[in-house]
C-alpha cells in the first residue's frame, strides 16, 4: 500500500471563460464611464453627489466580485487514500473514500441542460462540480447518489482512479458498462 498522502492526479480549473469575464467587466466599465462623464460636468470641490457615491460603491463591489472570481478554482485530487474535491474560495473541501464509489465513467454532458450551469450544481443525490467545458467523470456511489466532476483531462482522472482503487485493494471500478441513466 502506498503513502496515504501521495497525489496520483491533480487538476486545477479556473473560471477563465470570456463570457464570465464579460459578465463582470462590461458593467464595471459602463459604470466607470458614466461616473467619469457625469463628474466631469460637476463643479470641482465639495462633496460627491449621492448618485456618485452609490456608483463608487457599486464599482467597489464589482471589483471585489472580479477578484473573488479570479481566485476561485476547482481542485481535484486523486490520492492514495481517496478523492478530494475543493472549490477554493467557494466551498469546503470534500473527501470521498474509494469504498464509497461503486462505479465511474468518462462522460460528455451539457452543463446548462443537465445541471443548470457551472459551479456546484444539482440536487442532493445528483450533484456536479464543474468550471468549464462539457467533459468529466461521473461517479456512482454505493448509496445510489451521483456526482459529476468536470475535468479538462477526464480520461487521465479515470486512469488515476483505476490506479488508486487497485492500490487501495477495493474492487476496480468498471469504466464501461454502466449506463449512468
Q: How many CB atoms lie within 10 A of CB 66?
A: 14
Instruction: Quote the pLDDT of residue 31.
Output: 81
Instruction: Quote the pLDDT of residue 169.
Output: 45
Report if residue 80 sits inside a domain.
Answer: no
| pLDDT surpasses 90 at 157 | yes
Which residue has cell 462623464?
A: 37
Report if residue 125 sits inside a domain.
Answer: yes
Range of the domain at 37: 14-72+96-176
Q: What is the dihedral of CA 29, 31, 37, 42, to 10 degrees?
A: -150
Which residue has cell 454505493?
A: 142
Q: Choose the weakest-confidence range: 60-74, 127-141, 162-176.
A: 162-176
Residue 46 burial by Cβ neighbours in a 10 Å radius (0-12, 13-18, 19+): exposed
Q: How many separate domains does the chain show?
A: 1
Amino acid at each position: 500500500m502506498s503513502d496515504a498522502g501521495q497525489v496520483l492526479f491533480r487538476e486545477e480549473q479556473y473560471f477563465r471563460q470570456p463570457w464570465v469575464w464579460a459578465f463582470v467587466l462590461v458593467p464595471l466599465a459602463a459604470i466607470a464611464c458614466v461616473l467619469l462623464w457625469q463628474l466631469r460636468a460637476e463643479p470641482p470641490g465639495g462633496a460627491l453627489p449621492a448618485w456618485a457615491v452609490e456608483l463608487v460603491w457599486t464599482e467597489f463591489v464589482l471589483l471585489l466580485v472580479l477578484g473573488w472570481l479570479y481566485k476561485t478554482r476547482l481542485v481535484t485530487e486523486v490520492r492514495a487514500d481517496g478523492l478530494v474535491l475543493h472549490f477554493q474560495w467557494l466551498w469546503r473541501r470534500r473527501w470521498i473514500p474509494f469504498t464509497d464509489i461503486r462505479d465511474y465513467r468518462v462522460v460528455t454532458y451539457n452543463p446548462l441542460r443537465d445541471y443548470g450551469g457551472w459551479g456546484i450544481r444539482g440536487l442532493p443525490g445528483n450533484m456536479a462540480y464543474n468550471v468549464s467545458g462539457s467533459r468529466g467523470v461521473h461517479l456512482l456511489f454505493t448509496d445510489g447518489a451521483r456526482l459529476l466532476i468536470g475535468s479538462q483531462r477526464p480520461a487521465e482522472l479515470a486512469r488515476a482512479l483505476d490506479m488508486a482503487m487497485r492500490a487501495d485493494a477495493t474492487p476496480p471500478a468498471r469504466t464501461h458498462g454502466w449506463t449512468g441513466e
